[in-house]
Structure 1
Amino acid sequence: MASYSEEDMKEAQREFSLLIEKGLDNDTVIKRFDLISDKYDMVLGVMEYKLPKWVGDNLASLYPGNKERVNILDVAAGTGLVSVEMRKHGFTHIDGLDPSEGMLAQAKKNNLYDRYICDILADNTLDIADNTYTVVTVVGFSSEFFKILPVKALEELVRVTKSGGRILMSHFEYIFESEVLRDNLSNLQDRGLWKLEDKKIMAETVKGINGHLYIYKVMTK
C-alpha cells in the first residue's frame, strides 16, 4: 500500500468531500472532476477506495475463461481504475465512457481503453451501436448523478449490452437507498429488460462507508 503524508491525507479528504457534495448540477460536478483529474488516484488511494478491485474480482468470477471474447464498457471510467483491475484478470477489450475530458486524459496516459468516449450517461442517446458489449460496468458514478439516474440512462445500458450480457453497478451503500434510483432499477426489471442476478455488500469500500454491487443480466431482446 502506498504511503501518504499527513498533508496528502488532509488534501484527499477535502477533495473527496467536494466530489460527493450534495445539490450540485452536472456542469459543476464535471468541472470539479476535470480540476482534480491529475490527483484523483492519490485521493482515492488515501481514502482506501476498494470498489474497482472488488468489481474486477467479481467480473473474473463471472467470466473465468475466454476473457479475450468479453467486450466491456466501463461507464464513469474516470482515470481508468476499474480498467486496471480488470486487466489484471486478463480482460483486454475495454472501452471507457466519462463526461470529464481531464479524467479520460489521465486514462489515455496509461493506454487503459480502446475507445475513449467523452459523454454523460443521462437522458441522451450514446454514440454506441446496439448490442456492442458483453459486460457494462458502472463503478463509483458521481453520487449526485447516480442517485437520480433516469430510466432512459438505464435503458441505454441495456441497449448497448448483448442479450444475456451483464451490467455490474457498484457504489456506496447509501446511494442505493435513493428512492428514485430504486424505482428506476425496478422499472426495467418489471418490464423484463433485465433481471437482478446477484446483490453483494462489501464493508469499508472507503473509510467508514460500505459498498453495494448489483449484477443485472440483460434479458433476451
Structure 2
Amino acid sequence: MSDKFLDHVYRPASQVETDDIYDRWAATYDAELTEAGYAAPERVARALARRATLDAPVLDFGCGTGLSGLALRDAGFTVIDGTDPSQPMLDEAAAKGVYRNLTRLDLSADPPLAPGAYPAIAAAGVLGVGAAPPETFDMLMRALPRDGLLSLSLNDHALQHEPGYMAALCNWLDTGAARLLRKTRGKHLPARDIKSTVYLIEKA
C-alpha cells in the first residue's frame, strides 16, 4: 500500500475529517507506525516514569490503539487508563490488555477531562497539526492537580507549522503556573526523518 495514512495525517483538517481518518486507520495503525519506527510512546513514558509514582493512576490521553499504553506498562506503570475520540482505536487498544479503563473522549463535554482525576498524564504523539490543536495543552494542564505531571511529545512538523503549541506551553511556564522539568529532542518517526521534543511538565 503506497498511499498510507501517514501521508495525510499531518495536514490541517476539520474535527470531522480528523475523526474519520483515525477511525479508518485503526486496523493498520500499529503496523504502519511500527514500520516507521515510531519512538514517541517509549520516550514519553520513560520521561514520565522519572518523576511519577508508578503505582498511581496515569491517563494515556489520545491512547489510540494502545501503543502508548504498552510503553507506559513497560516503563513500570501499573494502573493505566486510556481515552481517545475514536471508538475503533479504543477497540484495538482494549485488545492489548494493558488498560484498567478505556473511555471514549467527548470533546464537546465541559470539561472533557475531570479535573484532578489523575496525578500524571501522558500524551504521546497527540498534539500536532491534523490531530489535537494547541488548545488541547490547556485542557490537559487544567485537568491536572497541583504538582501533577504531564509528559508529551511535540513533533518537528507541529513546532514548525503551528506556533500555537509553543505559545500555549510558554504561557504556562512564563506565568509560573507550571515548571519545565525535562526537555529532550530525539526520534519520532525515524523512517520519515521526523524528530520530536519530549517535555515533562509539573503543574505549580
TM-score (norm 2): 0.88
- 1:91 corresponds in structure 2 to 77
Question: How far apart, in 2, do the equivalents of 1:139 and 1:48 lie?
Answer: 14
Question: How far apart, in 1, do the equivalents of 2:169 and 2:47 lie?
Answer: 20
- 2:149 corresponds in structure 1 to 166
Query: Which shifted more, 196-205 or 32-41?
Result: 196-205
* Residue correspondence of structure 1 range 175-190 to structure 2 within 5 A: 175-177=158-160, 178-190=162-174
* Residue correspondence of structure 1 range 197-208 to structure 2 within 5 A: 197-203=181-187, 205-207=189-191, 208=193
* Residue correspondence of structure 1 range 106-121 to structure 2 within 5 A: 106-119=92-105
Q: Tell me, yes or no, if structure 1 residue 157 matches structure 2 residue 140.
A: yes
Question: How far apart, in 2, do the equivalents of 1:40 and 1:143 lie?
Answer: 17
* Residue correspondence of structure 1 range 122-137 to structure 2 within 5 A: 124-128=110-114, 130-137=115-122
Instruction: Tell me how far 1:29 sits from its aligned partner.
Output: 1.1
Instruction: Tell me how far 1:146 sits from its aligned partner.
Output: 5.5
SS at match of 1:91: coil
Q: Tell me, yes or no, if structure 1 residue 29 matches structure 2 residue 47.
A: no
Q: Which has the higher helix share?
A: 1
Question: How far apart, in 2, do the equivalents of 1:191 and 1:31 lie?
Answer: 37
Query: Which shifted more, 183-192 or 114-123?
Result: 114-123
Identity of aligned residues (%): 22
Q: Name structure 2 gaps, 5 residues minimum.
A: none
Q: Name structure 1 gaps, 5 residues minimum.
A: 1-6
Higher RCO (C-alpha under 8 Å, 6+ residues apart) = 2
- 1:4 corresponds in structure 2 to none
| Match for residue 6 of structure 2 among 13, 16, 25 | 16
Instruction: Tell me how far 1:180 sits from its aligned partner.
Output: 1.4
- 2:87 corresponds in structure 1 to 101
SS at match of 1:144: coil
| Equivalent pair of 1:52/1:139 in contact (CA under 8 Å) | yes
TM-score (norm 1): 0.81
1:131-161 per-position Cα deviation (integer Å, ceiling 9, x unaligned): 12121111111632557422xx333312322
- Give the aligned CA root-mean-square deviation in angstroms: 2.2
Match for 2:8: what amino acid? L
- 1:50 corresponds in structure 2 to 39
Question: How far apart, in 2, do the equivalents of 1:90 and 1:203 lie?
Answer: 21
- 1:41 corresponds in structure 2 to 30
- 1:212 corresponds in structure 2 to 197
Pick the structure with greater CA Rg: 1
Where has structure 1 moved over 6 Å in runs of 4 or more? none
Question: How far apart, in 2, do the equivalents of 1:101 and 1:47 lie?
Answer: 24
SS at match of 1:163: coil
Match for 1:173: what amino acid? D
